[in-house]
Structure formats: structure tokens, C-alpha cells
């Protein structure tokens, strides 16, 4: 069975060729330079070839040593820069080296991957790198999150304590790394979790209507999407199969302005995935205490 490094090495040539084709196609005309057009190039050309190369014969990573070591100062910024030029194998080797040095999974999520993703977003906002570079960097970070997920399966909650959560980028968003990282914290804490790709409002409402979730978490990376999110949250509440559903939001804009979450109708926000689990558990406990004695549990699937 091939190791992840071997698999990614085999994919590297195909990936770089695909990226070259993507750049030529993306910048051939002014119309093609729009984010949507570039996203289609990446989705239809680059990522499928990488996925095929990664999935054939992929093996789980070896168990890692965990401890209380910290991420070195400036490492996350350098790691973010590396995601723009290096493939998943070399990037994962850096992550494994940190783990062997005593850095635990939570620290990797909170102090390496999340800051690296934020840095990519900042470079995109500042026009320091193009959409293709940022998207490929975020995709590589997502692959690392998936690999780490295979390392630590998380805890299993008893059936009576199962809590269901859906995580998705907010409508209009194109990147789902933030939602993926938050989902991992909930999964490891014993929640049953579902993840969705970038959805429009109608698709999100349909998901909420089709299954009873205790919590729906939405992430925002672009501030202009916040105003429309208030309408989406209201629509989700009206359609939700669970009338008591909790809705949390996250992203840089809410970290800087936490009160904005309540202004748009959400129940809470948190600065990172670890804190999000704590806030969600507190909200769930408060909700149970407020339920009338005759109240039943929310409808299940």
C-alpha cells in the first residue's frame, strides 16, 4: 500500500501540468478572470486529477506523538506561503514533524491550519496572490485536515446524548475550510456531524428541512456576504425540521465584531473550533433548561 507521500509524489507532475493549463485557460479572456470562472477551471481540471491520484491506494497515516508543544512563532505564515507552491506531501511532512515534536491535534487546527487559511484570505483581499493560488492553497489545507481526521477518530457519545450538527460555508461563500475545521472539533467531541459544500440559500434551507439538526454552523470569509446571511438564517429557522435549532456563525468578521452574530439572528459565535464546541454545549444546556416539562424532544429523522 503506498504511503501518502508516495501517492502525492506521483500526483505532483499531473497537478503541476493541470495548474499550468488552468492558468492559461483562466487568464485567456477578461470574462474568465472572474472568481466563478476560475473556480470552474479548478473544479473541473485540477482537483479531479489530484483526487484520483490521492485516492488510489491511499493508506492511513501512522499514529502521531501528541503533547503540549506549541507552534513556533511565524510558522503559520510560512506554512501559508508554502501551500501556494508545495504539494500536500511535503506540507504533511511538516505537520507530522510538528506532531512528533509534541504538538497535539487541537493546536495544529487552532494555531497552524486556521491562521494559515486566514493568511491566504488576507493575501487574496490585498491582491497579493491570485484566485487560483489561494484556492489551491486552501484545497491543500483541506487535504491535511482530512488526513488529521483519520489519525484521531474522536469520542463516541452514547445514543441518548447524541447531538447532530451541520456545518457549511454561508450562502455565497466559495471556500469551506473554516467549516471543515470547526466540524472536526465537534466530531472529536462526540457530536454527529454532517458537512456540506458551498450551497445557495435554497439548498441550505432544504437540508435543514430534510433532517433534524440540533445545530447549524455557517462560516463567512467575505464580509459582503454577512448582510444576506440574516435572510438565510431566518429562512432556515422557518423551514427547519427542528423548531429549536441553534444557529452559530463564524469567521474573521465575527471574531472582530462578535455582536454582529446576534444582529443577523444567530444564537452565537466563537473565535475558533474549540471555543465553538463550548459555546454550543452551553447553548444546548440552556435550551434544555428552558424547555417546558411537557415539551418533547425535537423531531428526529
Q: Is residue 261 helix, strand or coil?
A: helix
Angle between helices 88-100 and 4-26 (to 10 degrees): 140
Distance of alpha carbon 99 from alpha carbon 93, whole angstroms:
10
Phi first, then psi: give them for residue 12, nearest 5 degrees: -60, -45
Going from N- to C-terminal start, the domains of the chain cover 4-151, 159-290
Q: What is the pLDDT of residues 75-126, one digit of tens each?
A: 999 999 999 999 888 898 899 899 888 888 888 888 898 889 888 878 877 8
Per the DSSP assignment, residues forming a β-bridge with 195 are 167
pTM for this model (two decimals)? 0.59
Strand partners, 66: 102
Q: What is the CATH number of domain 159-290?
A: 3.40.50.280
Query: 268 - beta bridge partners?
Result: 248
pLDDT above 50: residue 5: no
Please answer whether residues 70 and 103 qualify as being in contact, where contact means their C-beta atoms are separated by less than 8 angstroms.
yes
HSE on the CB side for 282, CA within 13 Å? 11
Q: How far apart are CA 84 and CA 16, in angstroms?
A: 12
pLDDT tens digit sequence for 128-172: 888 778 888 888 888 888 788 766 665 555 544 588 999 998 888
Amino acid at each position: 500500500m503506498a504511503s501518502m507521500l508516495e501517492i502525492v509524489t506521483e500526483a505532483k507532475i499531473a497537478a503541476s501540468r493541470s495548474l499550468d493549463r488552468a492558468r492559461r485557460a483562466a487568464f485567456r479572456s477578461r470574462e474568465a478572470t472572474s472568481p466563478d470562472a476560475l473556480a470552474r477551471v479548478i473544479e473541473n481540471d485540477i482537483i479531479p486529477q489530484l483526487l484520483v491520484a490521492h485516492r488510489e491506494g491511499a493508506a492511513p497515516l501512522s499514529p502521531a506523538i501528541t503533547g503540549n508543544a506549541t507552534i513556533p512563532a511565524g510558522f503559520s505564515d510560512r506554512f501559508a506561503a508554502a501551500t501556494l507552491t508545495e504539494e500536500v506531501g511535503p506540507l504533511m511532512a511538516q505537520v507530522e514533524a510538528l506532531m512528533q515534536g509534541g504538538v497535539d491535534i487541537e493546536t495544529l487546527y487552532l494555531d497552524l491550519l486556521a491562521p494559515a487559511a486566514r493568511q491566504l484570505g488576507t493575501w487574496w483581499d490585498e491582491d497579493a496572490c491570485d484566485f487560483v493560488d489561494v484556492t489551491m492553497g486552501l484545497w491543500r489545507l483541506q487535504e491535511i485536515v482530512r488526513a488529521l481526521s483519520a489519525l484521531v477518530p474522536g469520542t463516541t457519545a452514547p445514543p441518548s446524548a447524541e447531538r447532530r450538527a451541520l456545518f457549511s460555508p454561508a450562502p455565497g461563500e466559495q471556500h469551506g475550510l473554516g467549516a471543515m475545521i470547526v466540524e472536526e472539533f465537534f466530531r472529536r467531541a462526540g457530536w454527529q456531524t454532517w458537512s456540506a459544500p458551498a450551497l445557495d440559500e435554497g439548498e441550505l434551507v432544504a437540508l435543514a428541512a430534510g433532517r433534524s439538526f440540533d445545530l447549524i454552523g455557517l462560516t463567512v470569509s467575505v464580509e459582503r456576504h454577512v448582510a444576506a446571511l440574516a435572510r438565510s438564517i431566518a429562512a432556515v429557522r422557518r423551514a427547519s425540521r427542528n423548531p429549536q435549532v441553534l444557529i452559530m456563525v463564524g469567521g474573521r468578521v465575527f471574531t472582530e465584531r462578535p455582536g454582529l452574530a446576534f444582529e443577523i439572528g444567530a444564537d452565537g459565535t466563537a473565535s475558533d473550533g474549540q471555543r465553538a464546541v463550548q459555546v454550543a454545549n452551553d447553548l444546548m444546556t440552556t435550551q434544555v433548561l428552558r424547555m417546558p416539562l411537557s415539551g418533547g424532544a425535537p423531531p428526529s429523522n
